[in-house]
Structure 1
Amino acid sequence: MRQIGKKSLVLISALMLVLLAACGGNSSQSSGEGDKGGTINAKIGVISYLTGPGAAYGEAITNGFKLAQKEINEKGKVNIELVIEDSAGKQEQALSASQKLMSDDEIVALLGPTLSTEMNVVGPEADLNGIPIMGTSTTAEGIPQIGEYVFRNSIPEALAIPVAMEKAVKKYDVKKVALIYGNDDVFTKSGFDTMKEEVEKMDLEVVTTQTFQKGQSDYNAQLTKIKGLNPDLILASALYNEGAVIMDQARKMGITVPFVGGNGFNSPEVINIAGKAADGLFVATPWFSEKEDPKVQEFIKKYETEYGKKPDQFAAQAYDALYIMAEGLKNAGEADRDALRDALAEIKDLEGILGSFSFDKDGDVEMDPIVLTIKDGKFQIFE
């Protein structure tokens, strides 16, 4: 056999190194990009309220993400890995969780946190670091305006509350209202501001404005004052824990007038806690579980099979949010933070279980809510 000379060996070795380098480069790229129609692999961080008094919100949201993740990954175009951190509904813990997630260069986007008060500290940090973040339950005013990397798919209080108020005022020929709200939370204060502004537009008389704090259990003083002034309607901005207890104690005191609630009341937990006392509540929401839409009913069936309970608005918004992220990744063509941000901003008329979805110029949701009322222990469309 003829021996290979030294020059030939050097040439072959050089060629091998070039080939290995080329293969290595392609392998690294394919981990994040959809090369020629391949799968886009992406890690997304989740900040959710999983422990503490509002954990039912976080549980529903996280379940919605996980169900969507399972379906999206099965389709093969996008493969999403979720990295989930608990905020416990606290600003400082939400910020710490976000910093931990953002320090991982492989994480291309964040979902959450659950509360608007948390987003007020996490959103600016995400924007500063150039990582897209989408709130699925943050409805206070000003959230998308935090920065160009901040989005949300949850209908803001400023859009939902006026619609519910208009229906209730017309139905009951309301002239006088009482307001009650949590004054130690960004979300509930924002809801109150919207209610107050709408009251002024409608030229309604405010007989009293009462406040409370998170975790409060006795509302006797506030409700006694309200009862004595005999309003036609009570406007309440609260999370479901406090809101349900307020309604229960109001009915036990003999207050029979209807309530209009903000986004925090859009949970089956209101009915679970307040029971029959929840009857007469008005809320506006994009989600209605009895909607005769095959996509909605299929989602409910899958959710119940997976988790043994019916989904609420927060689960539905989270489910749609991950599909929005997946659409952004497909349109971007790669798992890159800047490319994903630009692709998200361009999403228009994406059909989800909540309806047709678009982002406006600020990264806020464009969608029409429907008005529900609780009657006979369940949410029903208000006709």
Structure 2
Amino acid sequence: MRWFRTAAVAAAAVTLAACTSADETSAGPEGELVGSGTGDECTIDSPVPVGAVLSLTGAAASYGETQRNGLELAVDQLNEAGGVTYELTVEDDQTDPKQGITVFEQFTGSDPQSVIIGPTLSNTAKQTDPIAHEAGTPVLGISNTAEGITEIGNYVFRDSLTESAVIPETVAAATEAYGLQDVVVMYSNDDAFTESGYEAFAAALDEVGVEVSETITFSKSDTEFRALLEQAASSDPDALVVSALIEAAVPLVTQAREAGMQMPIIGGNGFNSPQLMADAGDAAEGVVVGAAWNSTADDPLTTEFIQSYEDEYGAQPDQFAAQAYAGMTLVDSAVRAGCSGEREAIRENLAGLSDVPTVLGEFSFTDGRDAEHPAVVQVVEDGSFAVLE
């Protein structure tokens, strides 16, 4: 039986002050979500409410859709296992920070949740996570990679590796594989995530001694890049290095190949979507991307996850589905550690998680509540992500 519900936030949703105390916004009557036993033996009579704020429409919808799938699949499996059940409420932030704020106020006020998962984009998280922190509601980012997210406060966690954790490995692997000496960097300078990616790329390229012959900026909503690509080509770089969301990444890659630019294209985390291959087609071949997860990982958890996802949704999961699925695994581990679905207990037990088996690998939170697990560098080969050797 599914204990989740998907809803759309009404425009007239009640707005509560972000500084409402944790006591005033408890997820249920005191003690209702405290059970008996621990770990696999934990039993809680009432379902634990979990709110998810995802971009199901707007520019980041391609990420949000697979995140919702990953969460719903995990909730189905956890509820079937028994002992602890979860009631998942998924809301659409429309890829708009203002709408994200509305939903976070709902989840910490009129419709209180024990934990909030999301939002999809770092740009939104920087505006919404302070609401959860001030309300004493733990929030788990499953795709927020920009710097500074967890510094908002000790109720803020993420299972997504930061750009600064993945990009140095990406740059080092690409430099070795392709003998890079000079590159052109392109990035959208109006988004927290892509700006963070640019900063990580610049630092990593400097670290390995690769010269940046030119830096070119654009807007995250841009889809026409021919003039900028002509400018980039004039430098005759060994590679293009790009920090962009998928909506810009697809036309940029496509137009680069149409212009005859056959050098490697190295992308940030925004490139980690099947939409890159589906929409760019052959133009995506050879694109290099650092990632938190790869579907070819040889472990039982990944194999079972992929099979279950394909059976349920008729498609292969991507990194964002895997991070969402892992996020519910981590929430369940925290709930079972104290056999409590209360907000403060979840916060305390999330912070203590270490070496948890997940589809992302052995997972731990750092002291700063950031993700700690292996990263992987991928390259598009024959229409799929493969590990760059």
TM over 0.5: yes
Q: Does structure 2 conserve the Cα–Cα contact (< 8 Å) formed by 1:68 and 1:319?
A: yes
**1:238 corresponding residue in structure 2:** 244
Which residue of the other structure, out of 323, 326, 333, is the alignment partner of 1:327? 333
- Residue 134 of structure 1 corresponds to which residue in structure 2? 140
Q: Structure 1 residue 53: deviation in Å?
A: 2.7
CA deviations 1:45-69 (Å, max 9, x no partner) are 1100001232111000011000000
Structure 2 counterpart of 1:94, one-letter code: G
Q: Are 1:38 and 2:39 counterparts?
A: no
What amino acid does structure 1 have at the position aligned with 2:167? I
Question: Given that residues 161 and 261 in structure 1 are in contact (C-alpha distance below 8 angstroms), is that contact kept between their aligned partners in structure 2?
Answer: no
Query: Corresponding residue for 2:230?
Result: 224
Q: Does 2:156 match 1:155?
A: no
Q: Letter of the aligned partner of 1:153 in structure 2?
A: D
- Cα shift at 1:29: 6.4
Shift of 1:101: 1.1
Deviation at 1:145, TM superposition (A): 1.3
Confirm whether residue 110 of structure 1 aligns to residue 116 of structure 2. Answer: yes
Query: What secondary structure is seen at the aligned counterpart in 2 of 1:229?
Result: coil
Give structure 1 regions of 4+ aligned residues with deviation exceeding 4 angstroms: 27-30
2:85 alignment partner, SS class: strand
Q: Distance in 2 between matches of 1:204 and 1:58?
A: 35
Q: Is the 8 A contact 1:68 1:322 kept in 2?
A: yes
CA offset digits 1:81-133 (Å, max 9, x no partner)? 01111101111111111101110464111000000000001111111111100
Question: Unmatched 5+ residue regions in structure 2?
Answer: 1-27
Asked if 1:296 corresponds to 2:297, the answer is no
Q: 1:306 and 1:84 mapped to 2: Cα distance?
A: 18
1:63 aligned to which of 62, 69, 80 = 69
What count of residue pairs does the alignment treat as equivalent? 357
Structure 1: runs of 5+ lacking an equivalent: 1-26
The whole-number CA distance in structure 2 between the counterparts of 1:179 and 1:30 is 54
Q: CA deviation digits over 1:8-61, x for unaligned, max 9?
A: xxxxxxxxxxxxxxxxxxx96674121354225310111000012321110000
Give the C-alpha shift of residue 142 in structure 1.
1.3
Counterpart of 2:174, as a letter, is A
CA contact (8 A) 1:47 1:97 kept: yes
- Residue 277 of structure 1 corresponds to which residue in structure 2? 283
* Conserved 8 A contact 2:60-2:120: no
Task: Tell me, in whole angstroms, the C-alpha distance in 2 between the residues paired with 1:73 and 1:205.
Answer: 52
Deviation at 1:206, TM superposition (A): 1.3
> Aligned runs of 1:1-383 on 2, under 5 Å?
31-35=32-36, 37-39=42-44, 41-104=47-110, 106-383=112-389
Letter in 1 for 2:288: F
1:215, distance to aligned residue in structure 2 (A): 2.1
Cα deviation, residue 292, structure 1: 2.3
Secondary structure of the structure 2 residue equivalent to 1:154 = coil
Would you say the 8 A contact 2:360–2:374 is kept in 1? no
In structure 2, what is the Cα distance between the partners aligned to 1:97 and 1:352? 28
Distance 2:178 2:72 in 1: 42
CA 211–231 in structure 1, closer or farther in 2 if over 3 Å, else same: same
Encode CA deviations 1:212-262: one digit per residue, 9 max, x unaligned: 112211101110001111000111001111112111100000111101111
User: Is the helix fraction higher in 1 or 2?
Assistant: 1
Does the aligned pair in 2 maintain the 1:132–1:151 contact within 8 Å?
yes
Contact 2:118 2:139 in 1 (8 A): yes
Q: CA RMSD in A?
A: 1.5
- Work out the CA distance in 1 between the residues paired with 2:160 and 2:189: 22
* TM-score of the pair, normalised by structure 1: 0.90
Q: Give, in whole Å, the separation in 2 of the partners of 1:333 and 1:313.
A: 29
The question of whether the paired residues in 2 share the 8 Å contact of 1:234 and 1:258 is answered with: yes
1:375 Cα deviation (Å)? 1.6
Q: Helix, strand or coil for the counterpart of 2:260?
A: coil
Question: For 2:383 and 2:182, how far apart are their aligned partners in 1?
Answer: 26
8 Å contact 1:77–1:330 — kept in the other structure? no
Structure 1 residues 269-278 or 288-297, which shifts more?
Answer: 288-297
After TM superposition, the score normalised by the length of structure 2 is 0.89
Give the secondary-structure state (helix, strand or coil) at the position aligned to 2:147.
Answer: coil
Name the aligned partner's letter for residue 33 of structure 1: V
Q: Is the partner of 1:311 in helix, strand or coil?
A: coil
- What residue in structure 1 maps to residue 21 of structure 2? none
